[in-house]
């Protein structure tokens, strides 16, 4: 994906792609083929069953053939499948609950199936979760242009349009996840919730939703840095909002049991890395605003902010390394956006201002021991509202008489085939 580089696990083995992460990307799950026609015979209309099987197979084949890169085609198939499922769950007497096994597995995983369940709402959760994963994947792809060099010194250039599209996708992903929490997880009893995979646990979904908003704000700050019209106050506000988002996301996940391994562990490290970067940016811009004051105390406070930003920036690089090493191993992107700008400006400004106001720092030693508080702002970004699609035509058609008629037709066809075979044998 993007600028991901290829590495070898060992001599003679197939090369493995180490993904580059600008946006935190979830692992994709794909359907595993099930004999829906046999399981649902006489339970659901034949057209509904055939459509279910067709769409599940289409999603699986497209995802496996393309490695999940055919995002537009996958999204269309998922939306059609979700529309069909919506019609089923809204029909009170469909009789399908518990009659069919829905199976899913991690894309690229050799195991036959990771998830197996008979709950239709669980199937809807898995579908919408995949839609969120695709939105995050596409946002990451937009932020990792394919033409970039493998050199760590390369200059990353991402167009403003791509960055705005990435923000829209992050808001969309956040909306999908919020819907899962609000409308689907609330339908499950505790025993089902406890058996959900790590990345479908409520705390993880909530964290993913919040951090997607934080990353959207990070991209907006990068756009503001590139804009001559954006004031220091606007940049400070965006940086401070970023801190709040990532702080909320970290608090949401840090106390949960699932963080000891897997997706949740890597997600927590990602959030901590982004939190440190955001706080470094916030203190830098707060320092610039404060330094405009005329009082000596303003300059001392500004220097405190710049020095704190420099320390946080150094810590964020260590946190990035820790995130990349957490399995599955990922590759940090070259410096881009606001952090590329600040990685040069923060050390430079911190050194220059501490030299300029050195005499004040000696006089205000107590002030140096107290770091100024960052201003609090109301958060701007919200998840994009998501609702279930319109019911697909024909998805809820069929009564018991119609189903019995279809069942008898199937029986008659099979019986005739058996008689024909007997005649041929004689």
Length of the chain: 426
Tell me how crowded residue 239 is: count the other CB atoms within 10 A of its CB.
Answer: 27
Confidence of residue 111 (pLDDT cuts 50, 70, 90): low
Three-state SS annotation for 229-286: CCCHHHHHHHHHHHHHHHHHHHHHHHCCHHHHCHHHHHHHHHHHHHHHHHHHHHHHHH
Q: State the pLDDT at residue 407.
A: 46
Beta strands 29-32 and 5-7, pairing class: unpaired
347 and 249 inside one domain = yes
29 and 131 inside one domain = yes
How confident is the model over 351-361, as pLDDT tens digits?
Answer: 999 888 877 77
Q: Which of 207, 122, 128, 111 is nearest to 388 (CA)?
A: 128
How confident is the model over 124-170, as pLDDT tens digits?
Answer: 999 999 999 999 999 999 998 765 544 445 567 889 999 999 999 99
How confident is the model over 166-184, as pLDDT tens digits?
Answer: 999 999 999 999 999 999 9
How confident is the model over 233-287, as pLDDT tens digits?
Answer: 999 999 999 999 999 999 999 888 777 777 899 999 999 999 999 999 999 999 9
How confident is the model over 175-214, as pLDDT tens digits?
Answer: 999 999 999 999 998 888 888 998 999 999 999 999 999 9
- Enumerate residues 6+ apart whose C-beta is below 8 A from 266: 323, 326, 327, 328, 330
Q: Which of 49-58, 273-282, 327-336, 409-418 has the highest mean pLDDT?
A: 273-282
Residue 211 lies in a domain: yes
Taking all residues of the chain, what is their mean pLDDT, rounded to a whole number? 83
Q: State the pLDDT at residue 83.
A: 94
89 and 229 inside one domain = no
Structure tokens that stand for 217 in this block: 């704000």
For residue 370, the surrounding DSSP H or E stretch is none
Domain span holding position 334: 197-377
121 and 211 inside one domain = no
pTM, two decimal places: 0.85
Buried b or exposed e, range 384-417, using 16+ CB within 10 angstroms: bebebeebbeebbebeeeebeebeeeeeeeeeee
**Distance in angstroms (rounded) separating the CA atoms of residues 145 and 187:** 41
Q: State the pLDDT at residue 9.
A: 39
216 and 333 inside one domain = yes
213 and 96 inside one domain = no
The CATH number of the domain holding residue 361 is: 1.25.40.280
Tell me how crowded residue 21 is: count the other CB atoms within 10 A of its CB.
Answer: 23
What average pLDDT does the segment 43-47 reach?
72
211 and 110 inside one domain = no
Into how many domains does the chain fold? 2
Residue 304 sits at the vertex; the CA angle it makes with 301 and 310, to the nearest 5 degrees, is: 145
Res 333 pLDDT > 90: no
């Amino acid at each position: 994906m993007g600028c991901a580089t290829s590495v070898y696990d060992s001599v003679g083995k197939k090369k493995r792609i180490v993904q580059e992460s600008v946006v935190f990307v979830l692992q994709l799950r794909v359907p595993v083929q099930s004999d829906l026609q046999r399981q649902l015979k006489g339970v659901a209309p034949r057209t509904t069953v055939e459509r279910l099987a067709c769409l599940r197979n289409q999603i699986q084949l497209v995802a496996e053939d393309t490695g999940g890169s055919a995002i537009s085609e996958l999204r269309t198939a998922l939306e059609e499948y979700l529309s069909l499922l919506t019609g089923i769950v809204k029909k009170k007497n469909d009789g399908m609950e518990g009659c069919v096994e829905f199976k899913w597995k991690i894309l690229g995983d050799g195991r036959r199936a990771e998830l197996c369940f008979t709950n239709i709402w669980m199937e809807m959760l898995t579908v919408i979760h995949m839609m969120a994963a695709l939105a995050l994947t596409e946002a990451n792809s937009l932020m990792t242009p394919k033409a970039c060099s493998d050199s760590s010194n390369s200059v990353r250039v991402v167009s403003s349009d791509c960055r705005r599209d990435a923000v829209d996708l992050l808001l969309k992903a956040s909306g999908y996840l919020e819907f899962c929490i609000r409308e689907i997880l609330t339908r499950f009893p505790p025993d089902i919730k406890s058996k959900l995979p790590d990345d479908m646990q409520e705390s993880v979904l909530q964290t993913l939703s919040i951090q997607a908003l934080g990353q959207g704000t990070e991209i907006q700050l990068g756009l503001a840095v590139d804009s001559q019209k954006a004031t220091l106050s606007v940049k400070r506000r965006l940086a401070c909002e970023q801190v709040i988002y990532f702080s909320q996301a970290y608090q949401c996940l840090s106390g949960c049991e699932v963080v000891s391994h897997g997706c949740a562990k890597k997600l927590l490290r990602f959030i901590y890395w982004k939190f440190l970067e955001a706080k470094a940016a916030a203190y830098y811009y707060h320092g610039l605003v404060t330094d405009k004051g005329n009082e000596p105390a303003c300059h001392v406070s500004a220097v405190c902010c710049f020095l704190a930003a420099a320390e946080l920036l150094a810590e964020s690089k260590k946190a990035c390394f820790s995130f990349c090493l957490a399995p599955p191993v990922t590759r940090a992107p070259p410096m881009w956006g606001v952090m590329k700008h600040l990685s040069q400006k923060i050390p430079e400004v911190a050194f220059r201002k501490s030299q300029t106001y050195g005499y004040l720092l000696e006089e205000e030693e107590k002030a140096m021991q107290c770091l100024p508080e960052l201003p609090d702002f109301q958060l701007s970004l919200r998840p994009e509202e998501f609702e279930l699609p319109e019911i697909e035509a024909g998805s809820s058609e069929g009564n018991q008489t119609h189903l019995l008629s279809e069942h008898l037709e199937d029986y008659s066809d099979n019986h005739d085939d058996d008689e024909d075979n007997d005649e041929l044998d004689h």
